[in-house]
Structure 1
Amino acid sequence: MGFLLLLSMLLCIILSHGAVASGSWELIPANPVVGDVIEIRGTGFEGESVDVLITFEKEVQVVDGRYEYLLEDVRIPSGFDNRFTVQATGVDDLNVRVKMLLWITKTAEAKDGVATVSQAGVPPGTYKIRIDGKSDAPSVKLKITAFQEMEVDSEGSFSYTYDSKSMPSGSFEVNVGSIAKQVELQPAAGNIEGDAEKDFKSEKMWVAGILAVLILFVAYLRRRKS
Structure 2
Amino acid sequence: MALSKQVTPTSSLLRFLAWAQAAGYRVGEHPAYGGVTRGVHAAGSWHYDGLAADLNWGTGNPPGERAHLVVALEVAESMGLALIFARDGVAGVAANHRNHLHVDVGEWSNYGAGDVRRRAGDLKVWELQGAVHTPAAGRDNLWGPDTDKRLRAVQQASVLAGVRFPYGIAYTQRVVGTPDDGVWGLASRRAHDDTVMDVQRALDVVVDGRWGTTTDRAYQLARKVYHR
TM-score range (shorter-chain normalised) is under 0.3
Taking structure 2 as the reference length, the TM-score comes to 0.22
User: Larger radius of gyration, structure 1 or 2?
Assistant: 1
Higher relative contact order (CA 8 A, sep 6+): 1
The TM-score normalised by the length of structure 1 is 0.23
